[in-house]
Amino acid sequence: MAENRRQSIRGEKRRLREGLSTTEVERNSRAVVEHLSHMTPLLKASVIMGYIAIDNEIDVWPFLEQCLSQGKVVVLPRIETVTNRLVAVRFIGEEGLRKGRFGLMEPEGDAFPPELIDAVIVPGLAFDMRGYRLGYGKGYYDRFLPELRPGTLTIGVAHSLQVADEIPYYPHDHRLAYLVTERGVIPCENGHR
């Protein structure tokens, strides 16, 4: 029953996101980047994990460029072929990116220790106000986030139309501390680790 509801929410939010125009995605992404740029807990982070947007996801790249210009370390996700797990890899420049699984641009290099990451900006298909998220159903972030040290800042980013009333969750699902949409920063109920 819960899995059927999760799949229904995934499908609905994916369709809504796919229906956004390029202009809407760019406008919402600019607003989210502006909100991220003023989040005090995020400003204190030295090592930040982001992602490269696909399929109308919020584009956080301008924020990651700001971080790089401030001397912060930026790490990006890569799916390891052998273990089928998500790892973080330090971004050293566009020449260090290659097309990986699922056609995503991924960084080359050694895995970065997850316990050294201060903040993770997490994409997804759907989020709720309690900090639960639905990704694409492969569980990569659900397996990766528990590897972070306690207290690591976790922030979901999405278009406001991706926010669901309530996402059915499993015990292994990891709750995020904040959700950021074009409308603002939302501290998630009990999502802090």
- Which residue ranges are tagged as binding site? 6-10, 52, 57, 133-141
SS3 35: helix
Q: In what order do the strands lie in the sheet with 153-157?
A: 111-112, 86-90, 73-79, 47-49, 119-122, 153-157, 178-181, 184-187
**Residues of the binding site for ATP:** 6-10, 133-141
**Residues of the binding site for substrate:** 52, 57
DSSP 8-state code for residue 58: -
Q: What gap in Å lies between CA 111 and CA 39, rounded to an integer?
A: 27
